Chain A
Amino acid sequence: MSKTLVEKIWDAHVVKSEEGFPDILYIDTHLIHEVTSPQAFDGLRKRGLPVFRPQQTVATADHNVPTVDQHLPIREELSRFQVDMLTKNCAEFGVELYGLGHPFQGIVHVIGPELGITLPGKTMVCGDSHTSTHGAFGAIAFGIGTSQVEQVLATQCLLQQKPKTMKIEVNGTLNTGVRAKDIILYIISKISAAGGTGYFIEYAGTAIESLSMEARMTICNMSIEMGARGGLIAPDQITFDYVKGRKFAPQGEEWDKALAYWQTLYSDADAKFDRVLTFDAADIEPMITYGTNPGMGMGITQHIPATGSQPETEQFSYQKALDYMGFKDDEPLIGKPVDYVFIGSCTNSRIEDLREVAEFVYGRQKAESVEVWIVPGSKQVEKQAIEEGLDKVFEAAGFRLREPGCSACLGMNEDKIPAGKYCVSTSNRNFEGRQGPDARTLLVSPLTAAAAAITGQITDVRTLLNQPELA
């Protein structure tokens, strides 16, 4: 029988399937971090259980960590306590921890791929909704709550309903200045912040196939922003080339065996999806959000849709969002002053993102009125950026490369955007207060963020792309 990619991977991991019950799904790899794991370890203690497969569990500290002076103790007491608790739990239960100071430490969704832990065909979970990122490799990867973290620690399995499947095809060639982030913000703006709920999404089409692995991770990362638990892309030569030689990737004979299996991981030609959507890459321009959910996005040259154009029952919430942002109906965003620029998060903090920003700001100066934070996704990304001299380019432009962590994506650690300030951000959520109480977030690509850092205002980056190699 023909199957979608999701079905192939899912079916290969079903331990038990029984009418009237969710499937028992085997989980190959469990990633954990300090915020959503303490209550799960506590649950194990209360039940007197060990971690069932500690060698399939990897931990890092990312959400609570400061992004300057990481060699010093964490100043904020509760954050320090939570990070220390992770260290204690990992030691007690025998889980590998890449904690602060470890050369592999970083955002959980950045380190998995770069270490070769993330592989095609795997099932992966983490107590974090952006676990969908790992789907870029052709894996079933999704975020779970803490009770489920405890389930996986205890049994290496989850009780899960098989999801519906959706295919989103993007075909054609991307326009100048348009990046993976713009593709996904465009898709979310078309299908809304709830349009993917209940589905696993397979991204396909020529525009997706042409993307690098890091760009594919940006796409899959934001699947959850339209409500989809997971999003994935069929592995291909670009995937295999990226994975080969990474620290924990299979080697020698194991590699050949794995590769032979990975090459079977695609949706069969006549496989049935529950829903199929098709977009044309030519319709996508650099994107920006103007509201308080990621579905409220538009092309950067467009004007904010009028409240009256929204369905009547949604107008109250829509107006509330515009009031929060300090925006009005029909306004353009181009030229609005910006207070902060944040380049980082599990969406856009990889080496290609930093290279792109460095290339753009090279020979330019940051606007005086703007505070710019560039936060690498991991120690390895940081190291590579320094080896390539990107830190020097950033310094010359007036900004500084910080140390790895989730940083200003979620207003949990020391990096918060002050009340009322506008932050042009490469992160994934523009919810009220997401980057700090009353902070106002505008989601964009790293390239558009770099343009705002230079001009101090919301800018169509295409007007500054005069060197042909940047196009």
Chain B
Amino acid sequence: MKKFEKLTSTVVPLPIENIDTDQIIPARFLKATTREGFGNNLFRDWRFDAQNEPKPDFVLNNSIYTGKILVAGKNFGCGSSREHAAWAIQDYGFDAVVSSFFADIFKGNALNNGLLPVQVSDAFLHAIFESVSKDPNTAIVIDLENQTISLPVAELSENFEINAYKKACLINGYDDIDFILNQKELIEKFENERANA
């Protein structure tokens, strides 16, 4: 898994609530059997019309907004468990997603791929949207080690939560399977005890 390092970047703002995984990557694009290439279809139906022409009013088609951080409204990633949503966001070039609330399964999938979900307060989210609408070159800083996110232009900073174990995984680039595989004896012991209960 990719290691997550301290990130300073401009952002792509998507001030919409309840963005579900069908918007992030529609089901008809889930037919690939590898993890790569999903970025081309990220937000497919918001990005392109029925003739596959870019929709000019969608933020990913507006070259003034770029960066490695996607900032979206609350309840981001609700709906389907498709990990393809996290793959698509990462494949497109994002390293972190900021929102005031994340759906559970999406959050887990993102963490399992080294894509950092950063949950901020409603006020902080609002401040990012406001600053970016005034100046698209506004940068934010995400410091995973210290669990802080800051918006220097507004002199704002707050802490964010992350499970200590997942944080270590992200910083070191290792994943859950490596961890559980080391516990195989315990797993077999558990199975034996249950069988004899």
Q: Chain A residues in contact with chain B, CB under 8 A? A: 15-16, 20-22, 24, 26, 35-36, 38-39, 42-43, 47, 49, 63-64, 78-79, 81-82, 85, 127-129, 131, 143-148, 150-151, 154-159, 161, 193-194, 197-198, 224, 227, 229, 292-293, 295, 313-314, 316-317, 320, 410-412, 416, 419, 429, 431-434, 437-438
Contact = CB atoms under 8 A, between A and B. Distances in A.
A193 B78 contact: yes
B104 A15 contact: no
Contact of B177 (A47, A81, A429, A438): A47
Given A194-B18, A293-B18, A429-B79, A438 B190 contact: no
26 contacts: A26-B187, A26-B190, A36-B82, A64-B31, A79-B31, A127-B83, A128-B80, A145-B82, A147-B113, A147-B177, A148-B108, A151-B177, A154-B180, A194-B103, A227-B75, A313-B126, A317-B16, A411-B26, A411-B27, A412-B27, A431-B22, A431-B79, A434-B22, A437-B26, A437-B45, A437-B50
B177 A15 contact: no
A79 B16 CA distance: 32
Contacts of A21: 164-165
B102 to A, nearest CB: 8
Contact of B176 (A20, A147, A229, A295): A147
A233 B131 CA distance: 47
B195 interface: no
B191 to A, nearest CB: 8
Nearest to B100: A313
- Looking at B32, B108, B175, B191, which has the most chain A CB atoms within 10 Å of its CB? B108
Contacts of B86: 145
A250 to B, nearest CB: 14
A85 B177 CA distance: 23
A253 to B, nearest CB: 15
Interface in B83-139: 83-84, 86, 101, 103-105, 108-109, 112-113, 122, 126
A350 B86 CA distance: 32
B40 interface: no
Given A145-B108, A316-B15, A35 B30 contact: yes
A306 B86 CA distance: 34
Nearest to A53: B191
A24 B183 contact: yes
B61 to A, nearest CB: 17
Given A20-B164, A43-B177, 20 more contacts: A15-B186, A21-B165, A36-B81, A82-B33, A85-B33, A145-B81, A145-B109, A145-B112, A147-B113, A151-B177, A155-B181, A155-B187, A158-B176, A197-B104, A227-B103, A292-B18, A313-B122, A412-B28, A437-B26, A437-B50
Contacts of A148: 108, 112, 176
A131 to B, nearest CB: 8
Contact of A16 (B23, B34, B83, B183): B183
Contacts of B33: 38-39, 42, 81-82, 85
A197 B101 contact: yes
Contacts, number: 176
A150 B32 CA distance: 17
A320 B183 CA distance: 49
B101 A157 contact: no
B177 A128 contact: no
Nearest to A199: B104
Contacts of B79: 129, 224, 429, 431
Closest 3 interchain pairs by CB?
Answer: A145-B83, A145-B109, A38-B33
Contacts of A16: 183, 186
A317 B31 contact: no
Contacts of B6: none
Interface in B1-30: 15-18, 20, 22-23, 26-28, 30
B81 A128 contact: yes
Interface residues of B, number: 54
Nearest to B126: A313
- Looking at A47, A127, A437, which has the most chain B CB atoms within 10 Å of its CB? A437
A85 to B, nearest CB: 5
Contact of A157 (B20, B103, B105, B180): B180
A314 B18 CA distance: 10
Contacts of A81: 31, 33
A129 B105 contact: yes
B146 interface: no
B186 A317 contact: no
B18 A410 contact: no
A39 B35 contact: yes
A429 B80 CA distance: 9
Contacts of A147: 83, 109, 112-113, 175-177
A24 B79 CA distance: 25
Contacts of B103: 194, 197, 227
A131 B81 CA distance: 10
A465 B27 CA distance: 37
A26 B194 CA distance: 11
Contact of B179 (A85, A159, A229): A159
A36 B35 CA distance: 11
Interface in B153-178: 163-165, 175-177
Contacts of B16: 316-317, 320
A200 B83 CA distance: 21
B55 to A, nearest CB: 12
Given A26-B187, A36-B81, A317-B73, A154 B45 contact: no
B197 to A, nearest CB: 10
Contact of B105 (A144, A295, A316, A410): A144
- Looking at B73, B74, B180, B190, which has the most chain A CB atoms within 10 Å of its CB? B180
A337 to B, nearest CB: 23
